[in-house]
Amino acid sequence: MSKAIGIGIAIIVMILVVAGLFVYSYTQISVELSNVQLHSIDWATLSWPALINLGLDALTGNWFGAAFELIDGVNLNLIFAVQNKGILPVYIPDLSYDIFVNGISIGKGSSKTDITINPGNTKEITSFQNFKKDRMGQAVFSIIDTKGIMDIKVKGTAFVKFLGIDIPIPFESSRQISIYDEVRNTLNKEIQKNNQKSVGTTVGKSIENAIGAFVNDLLGGEELELSLQGQKFIDSTYTVEPGSYTFVSFSLNCDAKIQGGFLSKSMLGDDIMVFVFDDYNFGRYSDGLENAPIYDSGKTKSATFEMTLPSGEYHIVMSNEYSIISTKNVQFQVASICV
């Protein structure tokens, strides 16, 4: 009888030990949202009239808000890190969670995980999540107000299966992502697909100029401030319409060192091309002939330059000829000193 009692006690102790190990392992499981990645954006049809309407809507003062009208949804990959610091393997069949964007609840999500995590291991679970604009409610306005910032918070439960029983493990974490650059770059690419003829027949000069003026206000704040040697003879902002160029001419009465720089601003596509020509090559450039610039910036948003030039006539060209609809506002500063 005493032997049976001893066996029974041993079995109970073993059960308690196993249960204790399980309880310990259970407390050592953590789930967090470790990363959020932009998968894609679902766009409405990006027709040329829609892009023109975007330009007109942008005149109300928020181009990103106007652009968001062309978005049907945002697709994100939510990446969860599940860590097992315990001493027993754990099986996690799925996750379920509530989703918040910028503090606003937008619904529920779930992920079929079907993974076993061994002690001391961490596994990543990627959950594709489609955020439909028409289901996001007030969250849409918060994304517009923050210029594309989406603070994603998940609050939910991971289910650990043990002896056929689902045991819940609560979790809560958040990560932030911005869709601003993706929206801007996509719209710019769509515009560049069109040709100058489309613009000429669809957009009047008054619209182009209005958009250009708006862009200057929208992107204000970043100013060009250069420390230049000598006498500053250019310190202005120039508006360069799409498909065209603007130039500034200057004369040197002596051999001189020229220092300068520029900063281009635009709602869609900041880059500009800047050339410095002598009088002969400027004439060839104006006539569409082969030419040899003294300086060629390539397509860029900003740059500085320095060169030594003999006395003579020179021309600085700001070219926006490759652009379709994006008016560029270019801050330019140039100084010279005789050498």
CATH number at residue 300: 2.60.120.680
Whether residues 172 and 200 share a domain: the answer is: no
Does residue 312 lie within any of the structural domains?
yes
| Better-scored residue on pLDDT, 233 or 161 | 233
- Of 132-136, 157-161, 303-307, the one with minimum mean pLDDT is 157-161
Asked if 135 and 271 sit in the same domain, the reply is no
pLDDT per residue as tens digits for the range 225-236:
777 888 888 888
Residue 75 has pLDDT above 50, yes or no: yes
Which CATH number fits the domain that encloses residue 148?
A: 2.60.40.10
pLDDT at 280 over 60: yes
- Of 153, 185, 217, the last residue of a domain is 185
Cα(158)–Cα(90) distance, rounded to whole angstroms? 11
Give the range of the structural domain holding residue 309, as residue numbers without chain letter. Answer: 196-338
**pTM (predicted TM-score):** 0.54
12 occurs within a structural domain: no
* Residue with token string 């998968």: 39
112, 205: one domain:
no
The stretch 217-243 carries a mean pLDDT of: 75
In a domain, 327, yes or no: yes
Residues 308 and 176 in one domain: no
Number of domains in the chain: 2
19 within domain boundaries = no
Residue 190 belongs to a domain:
no
Mean pLDDT of 272-287: 95
Is pLDDT of 207 > 60?
A: no
332: in domain: yes
Residue 53 binned pLDDT confidence (cut-offs 50, 70, 90): low
Residue 248 located in a structural domain: yes
- Is there a domain that residue 207 lies in? yes
